[in-house]
């Protein structure tokens, strides 16, 4: 919408508030609301969209210091929708962030990084568009409790679907609990969340997101997946944020709670965000070759070479939490192996083979999870792939065997993703030149990201005793 169209829409729909949303550095939406009584004329709207609205950047994670706190939000009118959550009629608009003195885009604004990545792609002449299709998985729980203090620490999760509740007195217990690792595609009543997911899909479609499918996922205890149709990089990152917002709030209205935490449950599947991607130029899919392995072009193979070559560093953005590495554990079903293959879900890069349609040819990078900031994760993946194309990085031979069943000698030849967030951050410190091309990522953003993760996530967890340590060590 143009500002003029927004004004007409406000009057036509009797909109009472305009809600401004933006992304902090770790990847959580922030917002505040402006009453439309402040936006009564075309001049009001023009000033609103051009001059922006101030906010305190020092109160946002990963942003400014206290002595340089003033920042500006510039609403992007093209992202305007009716907010699908708010009770009062509200317009939701995603914002870009500017420095108020220089009026330049803020280097730590994740959305700006995504936009720069798309601009860099165009500047290379290799392609003019990249398409992205993340598969977002999450858990729906009935109860969650957690606390940590000087003398205790615990968490407790519960789900009506959890196999651990087969013997609970539920007055009555109606059974139909999903067995561990057997939650993939059961029909109701085992799938007790069909109607709830349908409500989520209805709300997502109403918010302008094109949904392809929804279903129960593998884990017991309420794991779910709702898949969006692919789109351009920044648009898809915007939709990932809206997706989380809608799904969490629909669950809450139904007295449920959603988490995108990669590994909330012990000894069952975690939640990932397998990320499909492809490059296009002049309407032609550059990843397709009728004579290539898996119908992939040489360009696609070099792109894969870039992903695998830089995978250690990429994990600092794609699997950016301590909990991410409770999912990415060798020997289980997690995609930790840095190899590529057709159909093979034990490889980090899978080539979907559902169709031979040239327009559908893409590669799927499987290690990411939904705790990532999608603007930064997609941008980093694109930069790694482009580096692979530019430097003609050979990904080697595909691995079409089940990697988990390889002999120890063969398995030793396959590299894996890092085993911890600390390892990923160390890899990023050593390997980040590919991210700095085109000023897409900046040194200050990388420095703040690494310091934030170490100071605010790694150290606090490292310094606290884990409950299971008492089982191991208390009686020694």
How confident is the model over 370-379, as a mean pLDDT?
Answer: 98
**What's the per-residue H, E or C state across 124-182?**
HCCCCEEEEEEEEEEEEECEEEEEECCCCEEEEEECCCEHHHCCCCCCCCCCCCECCCC
Residues 288, 336: one domain?
yes
**99-116 pLDDT, tens digit each:** 988 999 999 999 999 999
Q: Is 275:307 a contact under the CB 8 Å cutoff? A: no
Q: What's the average model confidence in pLDDT over 142-165?
A: 96
- Residues 433, 304 within the same domain: yes
Of the residues 109, 217, 289, 457, only one is catalytic, namely 217
- Of 4, 43, 51, 56, the active-site residue reads 56
| 345 is annotated as an active-site residue | yes
180/306 same-domain check? yes
Spatial separation of the C-alpha atoms in residues 127 and 129, rounded to whole Å: 6
Residue from 284, 279, 351 nearest 131 by CA: 279
Nearest to 75 by CA among 186, 288, 238: 238
For residues 147 and 100, membership in a common domain is answered with no
* Catalytic entry in 31, 214, 232, 345: 345
Question: Do residues 302 and 334 share a domain?
Answer: yes
Q: Please pick, among 24, 83, 137, 191, the residue that the annotation labels catalytic.
A: 137
Active site residue 274: yes
pLDDT at residue 81 greater than cutoff 80: yes
Residues 356-365 pLDDT 10s: 999 999 999 9
Rounded to whole angstroms, the Cα distance separating 355 from 338 reads 24
pLDDT digits (tens, 9 = 90+) for 329-348: 876 678 899 999 987 777 89
pLDDT of residue 3 exceeding 80: no
Distance of CA 403 to the CA centre of its chain: 26
| Cβ burial, residue 162 (10 Å; 0-12/13-18/19+) | buried
Does residue 63 sit in the same domain as residue 10?
yes
Residue 54 inside a domain? The answer is yes
- Please say if 12 is a catalytic residue: no
Q: Give the pLDDT score at 238.
A: 98
Bridge-based pairing state of the strands 223-228 and 129-141: antiparallel
- Mean pLDDT along residues 57-72: 87
Torsion angles phi and psi, residue 403, rounded to 5: -65, -30
Same domain? For 95 and 138 the reply is no
Q: State the CATH number of the domain containing residue 14.
A: 3.10.20.70
- Confirm whether 182 is a catalytic residue: no
Separation CA 232–CA 202 (nearest Å): 22
217 is catalytic: yes
Which range has the worst mean pLDDT, 29-33, 151-155, 411-415? 411-415
CATH number, position 468? 3.30.590.10
252 is annotated as an active-site residue: no
Kindly report whether the global pTM for this prediction surpasses the value 0.85: yes
| pLDDT of 66 above 80 | no
Number of structural domains the chain divides into: 2
> Is the distance from CB of 316 to CB of 450 less than 8 angstroms?
yes
């Amino acid at each position: 919408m143009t500002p003029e169209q927004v004004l007409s829409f406000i009057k036509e729909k009797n909109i009472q508030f305009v809600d401004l949303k933006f992304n902090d550095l770790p990847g959580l939406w922030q917002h505040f609301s402006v009453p439309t009584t402040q936006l009564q004329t075309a001049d009001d709207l023009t000033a609103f969209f051009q001059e922006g609205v101030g906010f305190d950047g020092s109160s946002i994670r990963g942003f400014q210091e206290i002595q340089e706190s003033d920042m500006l939000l510039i609403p992007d009118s093209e992202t305007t929708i009716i907010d699908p959550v708010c009770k009062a009629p509200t317009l939701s608009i995603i914002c870009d962030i500017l420095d108020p003195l220089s009026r330049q885009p803020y280097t730590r604004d994740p959305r700006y990084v995504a936009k720069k990545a798309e601009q860099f792609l165009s500047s290379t002449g290799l392609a003019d568009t990249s398409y992205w299709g993340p598969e977002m998985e999450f858990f729906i729980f009935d109860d969650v409790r957690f606390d940590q203090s000087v003398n205790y620490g615990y968490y407790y999760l519960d789900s009506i679907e959890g196999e651990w509740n087969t013997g609970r007195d539920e007055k009555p217990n109606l059974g139909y609990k999903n067995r561990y690792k057997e939650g993939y595609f059961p029909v109701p009543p085992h799938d007790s969340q069909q109607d709830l997911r349908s409500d989520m899909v209805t709300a997502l479609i109403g918010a302008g997101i094109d949904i392809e499918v929804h279903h129960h996922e593998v884990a017991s205890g309420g794991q779910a997946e709702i898949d969006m149709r692919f789109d351009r990089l920044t648009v898809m990152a915007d939709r990932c944020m809206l997706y989380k917002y809608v799904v969490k709030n629909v669950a809450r209205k139904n007295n449920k709670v959603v988490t995108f935490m990669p590994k909330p449950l012990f000894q069952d599947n975690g939640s990932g965000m397998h990320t499909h991607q492809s490059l296009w130029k002049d309407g032609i899919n550059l990843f397709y070759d009728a004579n290539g392995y898996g119908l992939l072009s040489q360009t696609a193979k070099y792109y894969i070479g870039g992903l695998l070559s830089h995978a250690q560093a990429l994990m600092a953005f794609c699997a950016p939490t301590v909990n991410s590495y409770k999912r990415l554990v060798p020997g289980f079903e997690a995609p930790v192996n840095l190899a590529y293959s057709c159909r093979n879900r034990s490889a980090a890069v899978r080539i979907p083979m559902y169709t031979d349609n040239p327009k559908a040819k893409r590669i799927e990078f499987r290690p990411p999870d939904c705790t990532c900031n999608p603007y930064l994760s997609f941008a980093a993946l694109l930069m790694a792939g482009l580096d692979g194309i530019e430097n003609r990085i050979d990904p080697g031979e595909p691995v079409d065997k089940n990697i988990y069943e390889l002999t120890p000698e063969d398995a030793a030849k396959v590299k894996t993703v890092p085993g911890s967030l600390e390892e990923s951050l160390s890899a990023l410190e050593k390997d980040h030149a590919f991210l700095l091309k085109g000023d897409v990522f900046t040194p200050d953003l990388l420095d703040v990201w690494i310091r934030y993760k170490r100071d605010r996530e790694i150290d606090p967890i490292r310094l606290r005793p884990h409950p299971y340590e008492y089982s191991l060590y208390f009686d020694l």
